[in-house]
Amino acid sequence: MPIDVICPGCHARFRVSDKFGGKKGPCPKCKEIIRVPDASEKVVIHAPEHSEMGAKDARGQYVLKPIEREPTKPRPLVVAGIVALSLVVVVLALLLRRVDDKRIFLAVGAVVLAPPLALGGYTFLRNDELAPYTGRSLAVRTLLCSAVYASLWGAYTYVYVLMLGDAPVEAWSILPLAAIFMFVGGGTALVCYDLDFGSGLFHYSFYLLVTILLRMAMGLPPV
């Protein structure tokens, strides 16, 4: 088997037959006398073992296997239920156009719609590299997030009336106020669902978009 040789003088690389191992001779390029390493002196670099596989048994086989994460698949019944519920909510919003005082319906809608919208937003925006929240943990996080989202609508209404009164205003005039509530809503999703802040903003924006569209369906201004 050929032996790889590097000349210490000119750093030329070449191969010689293994029969010259341990002998000296001139470099074919610079003629400097060099020693050819013996075959036993060759350094063999082995590929690193996959330490993440864990410990081995007495036969040298890995005793642990990597965890395979199953992708979350939407259930047809759940999707059908969401679509049916959405249609019912839209129809109710259109029927409420005839009601003069809609404040109680706005409050109830903000509370009732928050959990399904928060849960649906988390399903689409969660980090696939992390194990999803399930069971009681998911329920508690969803309820906390929903409570904050609904409370933000109440706080926004109070601050709006306190600062601007009951008269409708242009949307651009409330941008500084809206930015504060967006920051709080995005931070809430970040804390409750371990989303990054950008995904948290999208999560809260999804809730806002649905509730604002329903306000408009009821014949109210967006904000």
> Which is more confident, 1 or 141?
141
Closest CA to 101 of 10, 216, 219: 219
> Which is more confident, 82 or 138?
138
Structure tokens at 215: 């306000």
What is the model's pLDDT at position 54?
A: 53
Q: How far is CA 51 from CA 16, 58, 83, 211, in A?
A: 37, 17, 47, 50
Domain range summary for the chain, segments of one domain joined by + = 3-43, 76-217
What is the model's pLDDT at position 215?
A: 86
Average pLDDT over residues 6-34: 80
SS3 35: strand
Q: Is residue 150's pLDDT more than 90?
A: yes
Q: Is residue 165's pLDDT more than 60?
A: yes
Contact criterion met (CB below 8 Å) for 82 and 116: yes
Q: Is residue 52's pLDDT more than 50?
A: no
SS3 150: helix
Q: How far apart are CA 192 and CA 220, in angstroms?
A: 31
pLDDT digits (tens, 9 = 90+) for 172-212: 777 788 888 899 999 999 999 988 899 999 999 999 888 98
Q: How far apart are CA 78 and CA 122, in angstroms?
A: 15
Q: Is residue 50's pLDDT more than 70?
A: no
Q: Is residue 75's pLDDT more than 50?
A: yes
Instruction: State the average pLDDT for the chain.
Output: 79
What is the model's pLDDT at position 87?
A: 82
Q: How far apart are CA 159 and CA 179, in angstroms?
A: 13
Q: How far apart are CA 198 and CA 77, in angstroms?
A: 30
State if pTM tops 0.75. no
Structure tokens at 60: 């040298």
What is the model's pLDDT at position 61?
A: 63
Q: At what angle do helices 103-125 and 135-164 cross, to 10 degrees?
A: 130
Confidence of residue 56 (pLDDT cuts 50, 70, 90): low
